[in-house]
Amino acid sequence: MLNPISVEKFADMVMENNKGYRKKDLLRDLRNTLEEKKNGAKCMVCGAPIWAAGSAITGTNLCFTCTTGEADDSEDYEIE
């Protein structure tokens, strides 16, 4: 299970680990993608519900496994 995290906290985490993001843009992308997920957005590859946190960063609607190539999502986060 992905660990739930607020959009704000996730944005701070991304900005700590990556240079070049503007928080305002990041928050907008995260909220938009989360909204898409709530509206039933599906992974382009396998049709599972998208991983909103990752899809917002990559700009592509993918589930956790298709984004990372890993099945174990217990050490990662999902925005809510």
The CA-based angle 66-75-26, given to 5 degrees, is 70
66 binds Zn ion (CB under 5 A): yes
SS3 9: helix
Q: Which amino acid makes up residue 5? A: I
Query: Which of the residues 34 through 63 are near Zn ion (CB under 5 A)?
Result: 43, 45-46, 48, 63
Size of the site for Zn ion (CB under 5 A): 6
Our CB check for Zn ion shows the closer of 13 and 46 to be 46
**Which range in 5-13, 23-31, 50-58, 64-72 contacts Zn ion by CB under 5 A?**
64-72
What token pair was written down for 53?
Answer: 């946190």
How far, in Å, CA of 80 to CA of 68, rounded?
A: 20
Report the interface residues with Zn ion, using CB under 5 A. 43, 45-46, 48, 63, 66
